[in-house]
């Protein structure tokens, strides 16, 4: 029990404390450990984890084939690809003039051929299919259910139109007219009065028309309603602010999880 429980927890607590709090200590040896040694240890452990994950994947696919589970025919391709990659990476270079290690990137080798003519096209296919999944998810997310969903829909439309050439041909005055009509819908929803709605829409159209005539109808003025400028502002400010908030949340989550490991609260790595 001592070697299976207390010793691993103690090692994790000590190494985790040095790695975590070493960023806040100005001591050369500790900083060297955090910047170099800990990173190298992580790479070594990650390499073994990749091997274990790969062999576990091979085991699962073999079990699927032997038990003739649903879709076992596709597992044959996974097993064949796994074996072919192992052979190309460790046993057969295909080009005897290329040294081991360099053969994974050098031209004329089996590994490079697999990467260029098999892996890269399949990866491109997966990303191409991902675009359709994103479009389907966007359709479900953009359905107007509440105020937040409406904001997401409007921001998504502005980003999509502003990023394509078509968006640069849409006049800011056209957007202003659309806003007047949307405002009229909002007024009608709030006051339930057709007269108020008509007055708001007519007054808005008249004001926008007078402003357009006086300014000469420039396509990119007022700039705040020009889609390329508007989408750039959304991308630089609200988007960056949201991304930073998410990264701060991730950082706090990592810190909280690290503390749980250091204090021995989280014991999943020893099977508990």
**Pair 30, 63 in one domain:** yes
Q: Give 22-64 pLDDT, tens digit per residue.
A: 777 777 887 787 778 888 888 888 888 888 888 898 899 999 9
List the domain range (segments joined by +) for residue 213: 142-241
**Pair 15, 115 in one domain:** yes
**Pair 197, 184 in one domain:** yes
Closest listed residue to residue 180, CA positions, set 200, 158, 160, 161: 200
- Indicate the residue among 138, 170, 199 that finishes a domain: 138
**Pair 202, 214 in one domain:** yes
**Pair 132, 38 in one domain:** yes
157 is a domain residue = yes
pLDDT recorded at residue 62: 92
Please, which pLDDT band fits residue 143 given cuts at 50, 70 and 90? Answer: low
**Pair 176, 101 in one domain:** no
**Pair 156, 130 in one domain:** no
| Share of residues in the chain with pLDDT > 90 (%) | 11
- Checking if the pLDDT of 272 tops 70, the result is no
Closest listed residue to residue 260, CA positions, set 269, 248, 271: 269
**Pair 133, 150 in one domain:** no
pLDDT recorded at residue 88: 87
258 is a domain residue = no
- Indicate the residue among 114, 138, 162 that finishes a domain: 138
Mean pLDDT of the chain: 84
- Please, are residues 75 and 65 in contact by the beta-carbon 8 Å criterion? yes
269 is a domain residue = no
Mean pLDDT value across residues 241-265: 88
**Pair 209, 227 in one domain:** yes
| Residue bearing the bigger pLDDT, 3 or 121 | 121
- Indicate the residue among 97, 117, 138 that finishes a domain: 138
Q: How many domains does the chain have?
A: 2
- Checking if the pLDDT of 1 tops 70, the result is no
Q: What whole-number distance in Å separates Cα of residue 146 and Cα of residue 130? A: 27
Distances (CA, A) of 148 to 137, 145, 153, 184: 16, 8, 9, 20
**Pair 79, 185 in one domain:** no
253 is a domain residue = no
Mean pLDDT value across residues 125-150: 76
């Amino acid at each position: 029990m001592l070697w299976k429980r207390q010793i691993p927890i103690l090692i994790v607590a000590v190494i985790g404390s040095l790695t975590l709090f070493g960023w806040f200590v100005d001591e050369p040896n500790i900083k060297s450990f955090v910047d170099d040694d800990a990173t190298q240890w992580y790479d070594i452990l990650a390499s073994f984890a990749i091997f274990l994950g790969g062999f576990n994947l091979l085991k699962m696919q073999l079990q699927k084939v032997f038990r003739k589970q649903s879709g076992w025919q596709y597992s044959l391709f996974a097993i064949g690809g796994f074996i072919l990659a192992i052979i190309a990476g460790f046993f057969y270079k295909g080009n005897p003039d290329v040294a081991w290690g360099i053969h994974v990137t050098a031209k004329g080798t089996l590994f490079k051929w697999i990467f260029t003519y098999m892996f890269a096209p399949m990866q491109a296919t997966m990303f191409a299919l991902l675009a359709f999944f994103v479009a389907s998810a966007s359709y479900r997310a953009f359905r107007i259910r509440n105020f937040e969903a409406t904001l997401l829909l409007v921001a998504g439309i502005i980003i999509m139109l502003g990023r394509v050439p078509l968006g640069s041909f849409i006049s800011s005055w056209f957007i202003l007219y659309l806003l007047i009509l949307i405002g009229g819908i909002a007024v009608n929803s709030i006051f339930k009065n057709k007269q108020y709605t008509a007055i708001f829409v007519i007054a808005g159209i008249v004001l926008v028309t007078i402003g357009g005539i006086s300014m000469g109808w420039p396509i990119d003025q007022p700039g705040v309603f020009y889609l390329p400028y508007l989408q750039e502002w959304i991308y630089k400010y609200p988007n960056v602010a949201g991304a930073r908030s998410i990264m701060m949340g991730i950082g706090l989550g990592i810190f909280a999880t690290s503390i749980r490991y250091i204090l021995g609260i989280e014991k999943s790595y020893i099977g508990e």
